[in-house]
Structure 1
Amino acid sequence: MSHRRIKNPRAIVDRRALIARLDACFEAGPASAPATRAAVLAILKEVLAEGRAEVRRRFLEEATPGEVTVAESCHLFDRLIVTLMELALTRVYPLGVPTKGDEMALVAVGGYGRGELSPQSDLDLLFLTPYRSTPRAEQVVEYVLYMLWDLGLKVGHATRSVNDCVRLAKDDLTIATALLEARLLTGSRRLFGEFEKRYRADVVSGTETSFVEAKLKERDGRHDGHGDSRYVLEPNIKEGKGGLRDLHTLFWIARYLYDVAGMDDLVAAQVLTPGQARRFAKAQNFLWTVRCHLHYLTGRPEDRLTFDVQQEIGWRMGYTDHAGTKGVERFMKHYFLIAKDVGDLTRILCAALEEQHKRRPLVRLPFGRREADGFAVEGGRLMLPDKATLAEDPTRILELFAVAQRRDLDIHPKALRLIAENPGLVNTLRDSEQAWQRFLDMLTRPEGVETSLRRLNEAGVLGRLIPDFGRVVAQMQYDMYHVYTTDEHTIRAVGVLARIEQGRLKDELPAASSVIDKVQSRRALYVAVLLHDIAKGRGGDHSVLGAEIAHKLGPRFGLSDEETDTVAWLVLHHLDMSRTAFKRDIDDPKTIADFAALVQSPERLKLLLILTCADIRAVGPRTWNNWKATLLRELYYRTAEALSDGHAATSRDRRVTAAKRALATRLLDDQGWAEAAIERFVSMGYPNYWLAFDTETQVRHATLISEAEAAGQPLAVHLAPVPARDVTEVIVYTPDHAGLFARLAGAMALLGVSVVDAKIMTMANGMALDTFAVQGPGGGPLDDEEMPGRLKKTVEATLTGTLKVGRELLHKPHPGPSRAQVFTVPPRVIFDLEASKTHTVIEVNGRDRPGFLYDVTTTLTGLNLQISSAHISTYGERVVDVFYVKDLVGLKVDHPGRLNDIRNTLLMTLGGTPHDAEAPARGPGRGTPRRPARPRSRPRKTAAQ
């Protein structure tokens, strides 16, 4: 429980006044009368509401720290519950001469026993009896509980004898933990003293080690259930890694072993230093403060720090925008640093407890070695020499991590503590060539590199060795696309690279896996992955700034000039391959020619492919999919062909001829088509058709068209799941007309289907052959058995005019608040006049919502533009749709006035502000609306500010 003194406690609840008011109720009528009970309940409700309001007022208006707020909440409930219990014992069910068997004690357990009550926390009560519960005891318990329930409180409760408590605690870890925090509220001190004595003698004694091991195992299981990372961007502040429950675990261990009332008592026991105890208190207070804000803001016992509350809580705690960083990002960075502190404290305490108790490690690790490559091994973990020896050769710090990586050993918390207490020694490593060489050796050793980097990062070594990396430690990006902090994402990306090199991702990343053993610049590749996001959060283009940092750091790593240039080039262009694959038409020869001109060499192409795959794969568990893999793979192979051939036009003609020949062979041999029918179908496709689809898809097209013409159908719709690309392919064959694409997009929006790519073809016979790659609401191919039939009917009704898409979307029930609505995504329209010789490329950015694609394509149709292809990408809350368009006579649109009209009309469609003057072809500048000023209480300052 917080030991901070509560200021003016009577303003929260005046117990004397409360008792006087309750006494008046009983003097006015019998204790058992319903009217008396109703009057008592009304008074308690009033006092509870007033007390809660006062605690809340102090927290929000006076910026009371969280540690005081939870203590004030405890004070309020202590006074109410004690008063209610005494009322039941003396007024409602009085007893003449009590016997020993009539003794009772009301005990707070769990978090309430600890003295921590957040605004929406539950109450856990134990009604302690000497033997079996008596009829009178049952009446008292029933009265108290029903009154608490009528007050609207959530109460966990049990009525047990001392023997019951001991027996159940021996068998159940949860009960043992709850009783460990038992605190007497009112009743028999003798009985509670007997319980405490029996608990220590019969439950704790002899089970210390097993309890600690069980609690640490329980903690690890809890971490696994919440992502096993303290750097998840929507953390659970109670159950997640580095959260309150981890601090509780430390307190339980300390209390079980030392019978301490608080962590400060461990300083006297020489288990923790005063500085470590202060870190514990600081972390606990911060997390309590955040949790109180969460409870007050949501009005429920919420523990997930989701995107929709992060900005408001950060603002309430005084985190403001400055130096190019959003206030919410500064708030979350402080949270992640606190979570890191909690992890450090866990290691420190476990090491100290092992030292104090001289028993085996609290976390079981390999044994048997007493020395490894010059380092002592204690309890299966590597130790460091003393500070004096370390000062003579600080490179031993990095060698410690290198040996741990080579030998697959853990590092002793005492060694990590020594490093943390001597940051100056780590700083000297920046000027040591030997230290940089050791670090590069670790970085380029695939076995265990991810674990080593994470250890170096959590020990603070990585950020001190590379200060630029230290700037992105615990840095978050406030969006729904990125799942981890920048440093955690980077470490995971290096881990993905290592697994690619080890051949462990051949099925998931076949192209990258097939070329990684052919790269000549292996060291440069690992350094580039480590540095690719190192300049994030600096207010400029992180790729450009990162390339400058790479040029500076390359020589320090010991890289040659050529390797340094390669690293800088990869960092500068680390987003270009994904941008090209996901936002450009890779069937357009100019796309391939432009990308080939960018990469210039097969070696750089290989390196960029591998870096791109590792980067996307490390963003989050659901970010990578087969659709992205297919696009990147196609871009890689086509660019490799262009680089090796050099004659794009000749290569294009050869590929068209080869595609026609392959289809003719399949139709003749496998489908039994007549040669005349084959020739007729082949004549329908323009050259770009043969380059846009593989043979398997072209067979489906030929079959669909043949069956539609044989049946005289003006419209044919075919659905086929394509698991290799994580999509369902929807093919529509119908007479071409203006607005066709928009209508089809609207039909899919009505059914909640997401379009991830579209190829729009007009065949030589004037028919449209549009192919959509779509995914279901949860991503992946459509898995609803009824969806294909519903989709066909909806498309047919849309194209025949019996279903008005715009009207239906307008009246379609809203799915409810979306997480995307939390974010501000200013609409942007960008033109690229260089990406294609024959088309104008329009990129539209906006916040994701149902009907987005339909609204944009309808607007483009209304502007008399023909859409030739569309490329749809979603990055969390942000949609990036790219369209290749021509005007109605088939010409590229490039007049500045016309482009400005298109931009303004699209911006108005998306709720943006039109530009009065003609804007450049590259689109408007970036900008985020500032939060309007409003009256507020004094900001809650923190150490991070």
Structure 2
Amino acid sequence: MNPRFENVPNRRAIVDRRALAEELAAIATNDPSLLRREAIGRLKEALDDGRAEIARRLAERPSRGLEAANAQAFLIDQLLKLLYDLATQRLYPLSNPTASERLTLMAVGGYGRGEMAPFSDVDIAFITPWKQPPWAEQVIETLLYSLWDMGLKVGHSSRSLDEMVRQAKGDVTIRTALLEGRYVWGDEALYRETLARFRNEVTRGSERQFIADKLAERNARHLKMGDSRYVVEPNVKEGKGGLRDLHALFWIGKYVYDVDRAAQLVNQGLFTPAEYRLFHRADNFLWAVRCHLHLAAGRAEDRLTFDMQREIAERMRYADRPGKAAVERFMQFYFLQAKTVGALTGVFLAHIDDLFAGRGRRFGLPQLRRRPRKLQGFVLDRGRLALPHDAFFAEDPTRLVEIFQLADLHGVEIHPLAMRAATRDAKLVDDVRADPRANALFLDLLTSPRDPEMVLRWMNEAGVFGRFVPDFGRVVAQMQFDMYHHYTVDEHTIRAIGLLARIERGELAADHPLASEILPQIVSRRVLYVAVLLHDIAKGRGGDHSILGAAVAERLCPRFGLTRAETETVAWLVRYHLLMSATAFKRDLSDFKTILDFTHVVQSAERLRLLLVLTIVDIRAVGPGTWNGWKRQLLGDLYEAAEEVLRLGHKQRGRDERIAAKQAGLAEALGWGPDAMAAYLRRFPEAYWIAEPDDVLAHNARFVAGVGEARLAIDAQVYAQRGATLVTVYAADHPGIFYRIAGAIHVAGGNIIDARIHTTRDGMALDNFLVQDPFGRPFDEAGQLARLQTAIEDALANRGKLVDRLKAKPLPRVRADAFRIEPNVLVDNKASNRFTVVEVTARDRPALLNQLAHALFQSKVTIHSAHVATYGERAVDTFYITDLTGDKIATTSRLKALEKRLLDAAAGRAVELAA
């Protein structure tokens, strides 16, 4: 029995090769095709029974991943042996084989390592001594067709010994697969000869190149998969911190030291026994997740998508805890294992690096730019910060913080063996948490003008960060189960700190001109950096993380050395870190009450500056694509309006003065005659002049003048300043026009992010929509714009049934089905002096805005503006409405009826899509 399968108990219950061999021998026919067909039928049954038994065992003991992976490989081994014997003994027997009529069957790749997921490919290498004889061709063909007929996916190669050597030398992928080559069946002497030639002619002397190739391959794979082990939909096999990273360590160790099992890496000094236990634990867990993934999907699937995460958490028996769902606990453990893989990789490569130190430069590691003078007792080892002896941290645990501060100060890398010692001794930092010097060093690192992100990530990888700041330790590897956040809480926080440092260094001035301009005006840099560190510190505690986080800030800031005033400001920023984005994205900024309510909370220009920068880095650190020109514009508009109020007071400019100023600016921009200008101004109510910015007012005026007496005109043009397409509809006003336009825009493939609805005094509707494609970009292709215009024209002219077109529109994101979002409706009569503000939260889905607008139409209200914010799978749509006479909706019965109708629409309980 192969020692790789010793950990698989009661193997005969999975497949009994002896009993199957007797069954095959009992097939009484000399017809080759009938014999093959009957044999394959029996073996296919055995394959299905074996898989079912392995799945049953995994369901009973859901964390035994390696056992399941080994069992799968064992099952395939036994079936291959039976097929090989059938082909060579009954189908193509040789009475007197020649020296060339020899064949060995090798398992390669993951199968060669003895590890397979339920639907993994079967990777086989057929080796012959010289050119392949006809007999070998017949046997190989029979085996392959039989495996395919059994429903297996097969990766195969057929080579002579010379071909094997030549191809392995020229292709690192072939070399890697053969590196794990394992004898399955056939000519054993030929297998031993294959192994000897591979070692002597392929691997010997090429170790350094192989390591460099594997590291380059790993880096390319990480970039493709997101280059972070904390992406919230990780790839278990290929992602950073996944199985392939563990395999790469084993490949390198095997290539250099010719080990057969990962446990033998301890004997070579590449891992300590404790580190190998961590390696084995991560390997076992990741294999369990991968096997469950395959079984849940019913196919080969390695991406842990949101819809699968809940399923796998349930299969692996994770349970809910107060403040943390089972799926979040499962994913937190997943990311902790990925973190372990990263730490082990660093230590492992340090040893390999030292082994080859005399033969050339290090593997892709940066060279020392300048030699630091003050190392506080630490030493430099080939340009990396190292320890003078193993007990260095134990002598003074403050050094556990100092090593990272020095690495940042001098721009040097920490030696992986020092990282290993820091990881091992991280618990010692508990004793110096209250030490003023340790906290001063930490604050110096956090607020570094250099590159705090990289060094803080190292500190986190070593486990020192979470021990020194236990509240941060609680969010290490903690995911947020939604489609909005791309990273775990700790990774998001560290990325936000890095973004803040980059903005401060002036590297992102083009993306964030306002933040880059106001950062030098901020009085206390460290208040801002500490606030960024703590803004999400209380996530996963079962309450409002902003309120709970403010309490954490009040406790931690004095320990870091902040003054009472600084502590108060940090606590305020953490408490209100979502205020600015909520106001900018969910409220009408042209309503002056919005600005007054916002400034009532902010109260000072310094807080406003701090809050803007914190909001920007928080949004951008969520993940790729979450920051765009539309958000930049809204936050800038809110900042400027609030700054003006805070600087000049509430009554700096009255409503009449603002309208007069806008109209004067428009007249100057247009250059029309006084009569034409006066006639145009009379057509629009006061609300129009307040709501629209100057450039849109000018565009609307030219557009309306250009269409003359037409009763329907549509214009669409890219509004680059806001990262969207401005769609203007000029039509005869009638009830329900808004929901029809919203439906038409969706049919054309657009998402409405903002809408302003106006009615002229002579009965025309002038509606402005900001529209993006599903990826948050403007509609800018001629075909898209034409499709948009046609869809709106058809909807308003009742050409074709809009309801049928909406139903036929495919769902853009079916993964949103993995999330349960309880619809909610908030009606607020205090947020505006003139309007009733309605905020609807629901799961984002096609035509949601159309259905909500239809519900408002049925409620006989007038929509004045709509504001759409999406956070992954969650949509928050806000409407500013009045009754048909232009007053707020005040009666309790009407408000309740309105709320119920909107809740039904938000939950998808509306009887019919709005048509």
Residue 813 (structure 1) shift: 4.7
Count of residues in correspondence between the two structures: 904
Shift of the 441–101 alpha-carbon distance from structure 1 to 2, 3 Å rule, reads same
| Other-structure match for 1:304 | 303
Residue 539 (structure 1) shift: 0.6
Residue 157 (structure 1) shift: 1.2
Alpha carbons 2:515, 2:613 under 8 Å: kept = yes
Q: Does 1:22 align with 2:24?
A: yes
Residue 395 (structure 1) shift: 2.2
Q: What's the CA shift string for 1:772-799, capped at 9, x where partnerless? A: 0011233211134223233223322322
| Other-structure match for 1:727 | 724
Rounded to whole Å, the distance in 2 between the matches of 1:662 and 1:586 is: 20
Residue 402 (structure 1) shift: 1.6
Rounded to whole Å, the distance in 2 between the matches of 1:215 and 1:379 is: 23
Rounded to whole Å, the distance in 1 between the matches of 2:205 and 2:595 is: 72
**Aligned partner letter, 1:376:** V
Rounded to whole Å, the distance in 2 between the matches of 1:528 and 1:795 is: 46
**Structure 1, gaps ≥5 residues long:** 915-945
**Aligned partner letter, 1:788:** L
| Other-structure match for 2:112 | 113
| Other-structure match for 2:879 | 883
SS in 2 for 1:488: helix
| Other-structure match for 1:859 | 855
Residue 407 (structure 1) shift: 2.2
In percent, how many aligned pairs have the same letter? 48
Kindly report which structure 2 residues correspond to 1:653-732, keeping only aligned pairs within 5 A, or say none: 653-668=656-671, 673-709=672-708, 712-732=709-729
| Other-structure match for 1:621 | 624
**Aligned partner letter, 1:23:** A
| Other-structure match for 2:816 | 820
Alpha carbons 1:369, 1:377 under 8 Å: kept = no
Q: Does 1:563 align with 2:566?
A: yes
Rounded to whole Å, the distance in 2 between the matches of 1:174 and 1:800 is: 61
Corresponding residue to 2:759 among 754, 759, 762: 762
| Other-structure match for 1:398 | 401
Corresponding residue to 1:836 among 832, 835, 840: 832
Rounded to whole Å, the distance in 2 between the matches of 1:489 and 1:825 is: 23
Range that drifts further, 629-638 or 643-652:
643-652
**Aligned partner letter, 2:879:** F
SS in 2 for 1:569: helix
Q: What's the CA shift string for 1:446-481, capped at 9, x where partnerless? A: 311111111111111111111000000000111001
**Aligned partner letter, 1:497:** L
| Other-structure match for 1:441 | 444
Q: What's the CA shift string for 1:26-75, capped at 9, x where partnerless? A: x4224x3x222222222222222222222222222454711111111111
Rounded to whole Å, the distance in 1 between the matches of 2:173 and 2:190 is: 22
Q: What's the CA shift string for 1:549-583, capped at 9, x where partnerless? A: 11111111111111111111111110000000011
Alpha carbons 1:354, 1:362 under 8 Å: kept = yes
Q: What's the CA shift string for 1:228-260, capped at 9, x where partnerless? A: 100000000100000000010011011111111
**Aligned partner letter, 2:510:** D
Rounded to whole Å, the distance in 1 between the matches of 2:356 and 2:601 is: 63
Q: What's the CA shift string for 1:802-859, capped at 9, x where partnerless? A: 44434543x4254377111111111100122211011111100111111111111111
SS in 2 for 1:100: coil
Shift of the 704–371 alpha-carbon distance from structure 1 to 2, 3 Å rule, reads closer
Residue 356 (structure 1) shift: 5.6
Shift of the 132–807 alpha-carbon distance from structure 1 to 2, 3 Å rule, reads closer
Corresponding residue to 2:594 among 591, 596, 609: 591
Range that drifts further, 783-792 or 88-97:
783-792
Residue 9 (structure 1) shift: 1.4
Rounded to whole Å, the distance in 1 between the matches of 2:197 and 2:502 is: 54
Residue 23 (structure 1) shift: 1.6
Rounded to whole Å, the distance in 2 between the matches of 1:372 and 1:78 is: 61
Residue 801 (structure 1) shift: 3.4
Alpha carbons 1:103, 1:129 under 8 Å: kept = yes
Alpha carbons 1:826, 1:912 under 8 Å: kept = no
Kindly report which structure 2 residues correspond to 1:420-431, keeping only aligned pairs within 5 A, or say none: 420-431=423-434
Kindly report which structure 2 residues correspond to 1:110-509, keeping only aligned pairs within 5 A, or say none: 110-355=109-354, 359=358, 361-367=362-368, 372-374=373-375, 375-509=378-512
| Other-structure match for 1:611 | 614
**Aligned partner letter, 1:866:** T
| Other-structure match for 1:868 | 864
Q: What's the CA shift string for 1:631-680, capped at 9, x where partnerless? A: 11000001111111214363544432222222111111xxxx32321222
Shift of the 170–41 alpha-carbon distance from structure 1 to 2, 3 Å rule, reads same
Shift of the 370–856 alpha-carbon distance from structure 1 to 2, 3 Å rule, reads closer
Alpha carbons 1:361, 1:379 under 8 Å: kept = no
Rounded to whole Å, the distance in 2 between the matches of 1:741 and 1:850 is: 16
| Other-structure match for 2:902 | 906
Rounded to whole Å, the distance in 2 between the matches of 1:467 and 1:351 is: 29
Q: What's the CA shift string for 1:728-778, capped at 9, x where partnerless? A: 111111233332212211222222321100111223333221100011233
Q: What's the CA shift string for 1:277-329, capped at 9, x where partnerless? A: 11111111101100001101111111100001100100110111112100000
SS in 2 for 1:131: coil
| Other-structure match for 1:752 | 749
Alpha carbons 1:370, 1:376 under 8 Å: kept = no
| Other-structure match for 2:913 | none
Q: Does 1:639 align with 2:639?
A: no
Q: Does 1:67 align with 2:72?
A: no
Alpha carbons 1:272, 1:352 under 8 Å: kept = no
Relative to the length of structure 1, the TM-score reads 0.93
Rounded to whole Å, the distance in 2 between the matches of 1:657 and 1:65 is: 74
**Aligned partner letter, 1:54:** E
SS in 2 for 1:264: helix
**Aligned partner letter, 1:345:** L
Corresponding residue to 2:791 among 791, 794, 800: 794
Rounded to whole Å, the distance in 2 between the matches of 1:69 and 1:614 is: 44
Residue 507 (structure 1) shift: 1.6
Rounded to whole Å, the distance in 1 between the matches of 2:585 and 2:238 is: 37
Shift of the 94–4 alpha-carbon distance from structure 1 to 2, 3 Å rule, reads closer
Residue 385 (structure 1) shift: 3.1
Shift of the 594–449 alpha-carbon distance from structure 1 to 2, 3 Å rule, reads same
Residue 354 (structure 1) shift: 4.1
**Aligned partner letter, 2:266:** V
Alpha carbons 1:321, 1:327 under 8 Å: kept = yes
**Aligned partner letter, 1:279:** L
Residue 100 (structure 1) shift: 2.3
Shift of the 361–800 alpha-carbon distance from structure 1 to 2, 3 Å rule, reads closer
Alpha carbons 1:867, 1:884 under 8 Å: kept = yes
Corresponding residue to 1:530 among 516, 523, 533: 533
**Structure 2, gaps ≥5 residues long:** 911-915
Alpha carbons 2:72, 2:116 under 8 Å: kept = yes
Q: CA RMSD in A?
A: 1.9
Alpha carbons 1:131, 1:162 under 8 Å: kept = yes
Q: What's the CA shift string for 1:190-219, capped at 9, x where partnerless? A: 211111112111122222222222211211
Alpha carbons 1:230, 1:241 under 8 Å: kept = yes
Rounded to whole Å, the distance in 2 between the matches of 1:713 and 1:354 is: 76
Rounded to whole Å, the distance in 1 between the matches of 2:704 and 2:362 is: 71
**Aligned partner letter, 2:855:** T
Residue 363 (structure 1) shift: 4.4
SS in 2 for 1:165: helix
Alpha carbons 1:587, 1:688 under 8 Å: kept = no
Alpha carbons 2:63, 2:285 under 8 Å: kept = no
| Other-structure match for 1:780 | 777
Shift of the 402–331 alpha-carbon distance from structure 1 to 2, 3 Å rule, reads same
Shift of the 392–555 alpha-carbon distance from structure 1 to 2, 3 Å rule, reads same
Rounded to whole Å, the distance in 1 between the matches of 2:479 and 2:187 is: 52
Rounded to whole Å, the distance in 2 between the matches of 1:300 and 1:85 is: 26
SS in 1 for 2:226: coil
